[in-house]
């Protein structure tokens, strides 16, 4: 399984928007791109996809930009990956009649484990992990 750079950029965008969610701050594409180290030309496309799936929302006008459509606790990494790729794990063998049943069960277990994992990671958890890291004091 291999995720594209687009998946990483989408996750960075959502994390960047999540950081500003409590203040309901609207972020311009250029500012979000700079803060998350994402090329603005790709970010515009990604944000449009996130908006169409109800993860982000846009605000028009001179002070326009993007913000999260829902609280970070309600958005999972799996949600973002599905926006960028559709199925998270696409196992052709699961639909193939010639796949041995024991191997099919193994593929299904792998798929289910990966999907459960990405669906358990919320952007609120990621924010909290980042905040804890920032609080650590190094000697």
Task: Provide the whole-model pTM.
Answer: 0.87
**Alpha carbons 4 and 59: distance in angstroms, whole number:** 28
Exposed e or buried b per residue across 19-30, where buried means at least 16 C-beta atoms within 10 angstroms of its C-beta: bbbeeeebbebe
**Would you say domain 5-135 falls under CATH 1.10.10.10?**
yes
pLDDT tens-place values along the chain, 139 residues long: 678 899 999 999 999 999 999 999 999 999 999 999 999 999 999 999 999 999 999 999 888 899 999 999 999 999 999 999 888 888 888 888 888 989 999 999 999 999 999 999 999 999 999 877 656 555 5
């Amino acid at each position: 399984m291999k995720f594209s750079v687009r998946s990483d950029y989408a996750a960075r965008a959502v994390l960047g928007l999540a950081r500003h969610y409590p203040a309901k701050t609207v972020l311009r594409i250029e500012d979000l791109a700079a803060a998350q180290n994402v090329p603005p030309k790709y970010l515009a496309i990604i944000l449009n996809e996130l908006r169409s799936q109800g993860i982000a929302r846009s605000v028009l006008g001179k002070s326009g930009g993007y913000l999260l459509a829902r609280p970070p606790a309600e958005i999972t990494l799996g949600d973002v990956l599905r926006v960028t790729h559709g199925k998270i794990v696409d196992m052709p063998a699961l639909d193939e009649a010639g796949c041995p049943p024991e191997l099919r069960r193994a593929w299904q277990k792998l798929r289910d484990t990966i999907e459960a994992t990405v669906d358990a990671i919320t952007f609120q958890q990621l924010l909290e992990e980042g905040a804890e890291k920032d609080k650590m004091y190094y000697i």
